[in-house]
Chains A and B, each alone.
Chain A
């Protein structure tokens, strides 16, 4: 603990993020009945692909600071304080902040592209996986060659831990999509930009341009989804039906597995000829 406090001035971003986790958690939970918590969290920035598609781009970042319960925030804060200081000291505070934000956005873009429109996610784990990706990238860059870090038992264990966690994520109530998105974003950012090696060759520059374009394109598609039947479905509901809002509510309940009076309508619409 003493060591941690002594180096506090060198890891401001890690501390700010940890404080933001706790503050937002307290504010979101303050004087709220348990049944009202989902609505409160939605106000604070829970991310659903539909919200992002409707223009709430801020949720791409805000959701990375929100947590649902004590276990969630406890584990994520522990992971942040375990991984963050080392990487922040290595990369520098500004770069670490950039890494956190880009990883968070990367994870949430993956969620927007893969998840159903009403399925919500929250939590900093996508960004934390981005930091883990940065650890892998730094290890690869710092070795005698790219895979020299595999000779170290600790590094191998870290990879196995990550793989095991991703596999366990199939059954656990966590967003593996967000984790993988964050991991890839953090890895790519660190590998190509933050620690580009001794000689940023022409090839690295080509990859930088291509990856930037990909990131921008996927951001754009998350904000303006085009070819996802569910988004078009929702748009059709909103545009064409006089009961658009009611049907959207019904669709939300349908996605959450709650039977509703309008479920039959939703099912009929989803299986109609237009969307086959």
Chain B
């Protein structure tokens, strides 16, 4: 054994992925500016109508009436589409609950602890402190800040499993599935069963989403054996098994995911249960 106490027989940790370029999806950026845009439209529209009314009052009235009618009909139409959507795709209530929970979390996460962690980082920079900043930024969906600090944490001390795990979540959220899989692999390698199997589950999920269904099925099966599995892990396991043609075992996994439970599920688990129920209802089709 070497002098530093490390086990030379253990495989080396793969190099951590590079810092990702963070670019918010267009729809998300648009969604963030939507309230501001609505205020500006509400500001400008009456003034434009006023200017128009000076030239042609009847046209201004007609435009206002047409717009109001269109807005009312549009709202009713959207409600109708949403109702039909809920009929065609039954997990809509579960999705609404999940979205509401995410919204609540985004509002309910204060920036104070993040600012405090950033201030502490200025006094003394360490991997743990970078990790703390990155974790808090990730919770608040401040992805550029999270990317910078999580990458720095992994760079400074590649032996912290939590840093790899958080970095993996960030990469997965940014859509870099291959790199995320490497990060989760590192976390699992450093701390087997890290975060009660969450890293393993994420690893399986990334493998499935990246198109490696066989590896995903193996990883998720291991997760089921070692950690008992959850609604989410059984859902992904079912998808992976179905993709490699093991239809019966896929149905068994999905049935487990769709089973009702006595205790109240978290919004995320409830969402995967709803997806599994629909999958079974449709006979194993997407």
Contacts A144-B110, A144-B112, A210-B36; is A229 near B61 (CB within 8 Å)?
yes
Residues 58-117 of B at the A interface (beta carbon under 8 Å)? 58, 60-61, 63-65, 104, 107-112, 115
> Once the chains bind, are B107 and A213 in contact (CB under 8 Å)?
no
A113's closest neighbor in chain B, by CB? B46
Bound-state Cα–Cα, A228 to B49, Å? 10
A221 at the interface (CB under 8 A from B): yes
B contact residues around A225 at 8 Å (CB)? 50
Shortest distance from the beta carbon of A61 to any chain B beta carbon, whole Å: 21
Contacts A145-B108, A147-B108; is A227 near B53 (CB within 8 Å)?
yes
> Once the chains bind, are B112 and A232 in contact (CB under 8 Å)?
no
A224's closest neighbor in chain B, by CB? B50
> Once the chains bind, are B108 and A217 in contact (CB under 8 Å)?
no
A contact residues around B53 at 8 Å (CB)? 226-227, 232
Residues 22-51 of B at the A interface (beta carbon under 8 Å)? 36, 39-40, 42-44, 46-47, 49-51
> Once the chains bind, are A213 and B43 in contact (CB under 8 Å)?
yes
B14 at the interface (CB under 8 A from A): no
A contact residues around B44 at 8 Å (CB)? 217
Bound-state Cα–Cα, A224 to B52, Å? 13
A contact residues around B192 at 8 Å (CB)? none
Shortest distance from the beta carbon of A98 to any chain B beta carbon, whole Å: 21
Residue in contact with A220 in the complex, picked from B39, B47, B111, CB distance below 8 Å: B47
Bound-state Cα–Cα, A228 to B54, Å? 13
Bound-state Cα–Cα, A144 to B111, Å? 9
> Once the chains bind, are A217 and B43 in contact (CB under 8 Å)?
yes
Shortest distance from the beta carbon of A64 to any chain B beta carbon, whole Å: 23
A207 at the interface (CB under 8 A from B): yes
Contacts A144-B110, A207-B36; is A228 near B47 (CB within 8 Å)?
no
A6 at the interface (CB under 8 A from B): no
B contact residues around A275 at 8 Å (CB)? 61
Bound-state Cα–Cα, A146 to B140, Å? 13
B57 at the interface (CB under 8 A from A): yes
A214 at the interface (CB under 8 A from B): yes
A203's closest neighbor in chain B, by CB? B36
Q: What number of B residues sit within 8 Å (CB to CB) of A?
A: 29
| Residue from the set A145, A211, A228 with the largest chain B CB neighbour count within 10 Å | A145
- For chain A, give the interface size range: 20 to 34
> Once the chains bind, are B47 and A145 in contact (CB under 8 Å)?
no
> Once the chains bind, are A227 and B111 in contact (CB under 8 Å)?
no
A contact residues around B110 at 8 Å (CB)? 144-145
Bound-state Cα–Cα, A235 to B110, Å? 53
Shortest distance from the beta carbon of B136 to any chain A beta carbon, whole Å: 12
B contact residues around A224 at 8 Å (CB)? 50
| Residue from the set B43, B64, B111 with the largest chain A CB neighbour count within 10 Å | B43
Bound-state Cα–Cα, A211 to B47, Å? 15
Residue in contact with A214 in the complex, picked from B43, B50, B104, CB distance below 8 Å: B43
> Once the chains bind, are B108 and A274 in contact (CB under 8 Å)?
no
> Once the chains bind, are A228 and B40 in contact (CB under 8 Å)?
no
> Once the chains bind, are A214 and B60 in contact (CB under 8 Å)?
no
B contact residues around A220 at 8 Å (CB)? 46-47, 50
Residue in contact with A226 in the complex, picked from B43, B60, B65, B111, CB distance below 8 Å: B60
> Once the chains bind, are A213 and B111 in contact (CB under 8 Å)?
no
B33's closest neighbor in chain A, by CB? A206
Bound-state Cα–Cα, A276 to B104, Å? 45
Contacts A144-B112, A146-B107, A146-B108; is A227 near B43 (CB within 8 Å)?
no
Shortest distance from the beta carbon of A180 to any chain B beta carbon, whole Å: 15
Contacts A210-B36, A210-B39, A227-B53; is A198 near B60 (CB within 8 Å)?
no
A contact residues around B54 at 8 Å (CB)? 226
B contact residues around A232 at 8 Å (CB)? 53, 57, 61
A81 at the interface (CB under 8 A from B): no
A174 at the interface (CB under 8 A from B): no
A contact residues around B40 at 8 Å (CB)? 210, 213-214
Bound-state Cα–Cα, A213 to B40, Å? 8
A199 at the interface (CB under 8 A from B): yes
Bound-state Cα–Cα, A209 to B51, Å? 22
A218 at the interface (CB under 8 A from B): yes
Contacts A207-B36, A232-B57; is A226 near B108 (CB within 8 Å)?
no
> Once the chains bind, are B52 and A226 in contact (CB under 8 Å)?
yes
| Interface pairs (17), CB distance under 8 Å | A146-B107, A147-B108, A207-B39, A210-B40, A210-B43, A213-B40, A217-B44, A220-B47, A221-B47, A224-B50, A225-B50, A226-B57, A227-B49, A228-B61, A229-B65, A235-B57, A275-B61
Chain B interface residues (CB < 8 Å from chain A): 36, 39-40, 42-44, 46-47, 49-54, 57-58, 60-61, 63-65, 104, 107-112, 115
Chain A interface residues (CB < 8 Å from chain B): 144-148, 198-199, 206-207, 210-211, 213-214, 217-218, 220-221, 224-229, 232, 235, 274-275
Nearest first, the 8 A-B pairs at minimum CB distance are A226-B53, A226-B50, A227-B64, A145-B110, A227-B49, A221-B46, A210-B39, A227-B60
